[in-house]
Amino acid sequence: MDNGKHGPQPQGPVGGWGSLRGMALVALHDHASPGALQTLAKQNKPGGFMCSSCAWGKPAKPHVFEFCENGAKSTLWELTRDRCTPAFFEQHTLAELRQWQDYDLEIQGRLTEPLRYDPASDRYLRCSWDEAFTGIAAELKQLDPKSVVFYASGKASLETSYLYGLFARMYGHNNLPDSSNMCHETTSVGLKKVIGSPVGTCTLEDFEHCDAIFYFGQNPGTNSPRFLHPLQEAVKRGCKIVVFNPVREQGLVRFIDPQNPAQVLTGHTTELAHQYLQVRPGGDIAALMGLCKHVLAVDDARRAEGSAGVLDATSLHNTPTTSRPLPPVRGPPTGARSSRPAAWPGPSWKRPPRSIWRPSG
């Protein structure tokens, strides 16, 4: 929702001073508690806690600060010292609050006491914990468990969400809808039909060895900024990244590691995308079809000359990569230009090519 409170829109690389400045402004604006930095240092680490901003995994070798700007904002918001007391609701009706922007509601702070809605006054009124628990229990006892949906705040911590889910199952059902119903369930169904597994088959360690990454319609600068570190390391060792996205997302163009003082001070950037192909919306399917056609053509050409096919799984994993470049294959210029330099073996390759499945989200 547009609340007219936008900061400057960066045009340069992601990360760097911009990330540090953004976290500092949020910490000041949200009046974070004095122990905020100590809390952030434990985020996404063994013995600490998981970030509620995204579902990016914990690496085996964490950085000193294993969080991104978005994750820090989410945690700092939770640590705010601002409080929304019952006095606030005495001054505003629900009809009035429904006209407020989400941002203006959020900056009121955290609730301090249980509240119940009073239809007569159209306000939330203070109630005791005993009254809240008794009222909820009485309502649940009258309902069929299968008819009840348990939905909590998306900002709840993973630990809190686990207990909430456990309570729902003890009650008698697991109707626990959340954003994953829109973001991940379709992917799970599609992946199982295509590769036999409902989840991606790669691990974080795979990015330390892959030679090519094909990116479709996802922006790590917004959705999973911590992924920028593995991408940067992959590019440094020669991995090629090919992006298919109608929008030119800065998160896949240039990156400055905010945890690298030399990069921050010098402004040295890492060019991430080897090729950035701005297909039309929905054109990623056509692009994939073109890539598949080109791969099959290369495979046919290899077999015609008596060599192992590109799609020969045994050859792919057990035979040392040839030092001889592949013969040119006629095809759509974009498809050939997109796939061959990034994915096929050439003189400098010393191991079989690998690929990474990166679902969009």
Q: What is the mean pLDDT of residues 193-206?
A: 83
DSSP strands (E only) in the chain: 14-15, 83-84, 110-111, 115-118, 123-126, 212-216, 240-244, 254-256, 270-271, 275-277, 355-356
217 burial (CB, 10 Å; 0-12 / 13-18 / 19+) is: middle
Q: Where are the domains of the chain?
A: 14-78, 188-356
User: Which residues make beta-bridge pairs with 15?
Assistant: 256
**Span 58-105, pLDDT tens digits:** 777 777 778 887 788 888 888 888 899 999 999 999 999 999 998 899
What does the DSSP 8-state code read for residue 50? Answer: -
Confidence at 227, pLDDT banded by 50, 70, 90:
confident
Q: Does residue 359 register a pLDDT over 80?
A: no
Torsion of CA 152, 158, 162, 163, to 10 degrees: -70
How many CB atoms are closer than 10 A to CB 118? 13
pLDDT of residue 177: 82
Location of structure tokens 């060599």: 307
pLDDT of residue 166: 94
Q: What is the mean pLDDT of residues 148-155?
A: 80
Location of structure tokens 């700092």: 76
pLDDT of residue 338: 44
Confidence at 317, pLDDT banded by 50, 70, 90:
low
How many CB atoms are closer than 10 A to CB 288? 15
Q: What is the mean pLDDT of residues 185-191?
A: 82
Q: Does residue 326 register a pLDDT over 60?
A: no
pLDDT of residue 154: 65
pLDDT of residue 11: 66
- Do 108 and 92 contact (CB within 8 A), yes or no? no
188-356 to CATH, choices 1.10.3470, 3.40.228, 3.30.460, 3.30.70: 3.40.228
* Integer Cα distance of 125 and 171 in angstroms: 27
User: Which residues make beta-bridge pairs with 80?
Assistant: 32
How many CB atoms are closer than 10 A to CB 28? 10
pLDDT of residue 357: 47
**Span 283-309, pLDDT tens digits:** 888 998 998 899 899 889 888 888 877
Confidence at 5, pLDDT banded by 50, 70, 90:
low
Percent of the chain whose pLDDT exceeds 70? 81
* Integer Cα distance of 330 and 289 in angstroms: 15
Average pLDDT, the chain: 79
Q: What is the mean pLDDT of residues 203-220?
A: 86
* Integer Cα distance of 252 and 248 in angstroms: 8
> Taking the mean position of all CA atoms in its chain, how far away is CA 64?
20
pLDDT of residue 315: 54
Confidence at 200, pLDDT banded by 50, 70, 90:
confident
Percent of the chain whose pLDDT exceeds 90? 28
- Do 125 and 113 contact (CB within 8 A), yes or no? no
How many CB atoms are closer than 10 A to CB 6? 7
Give buried/exposed letters for 123-136 (b at 16+ CB in 10 A, else e).
bbeebeeeeeeeee
Does residue 94 or residue 258 have the better pLDDT? 94
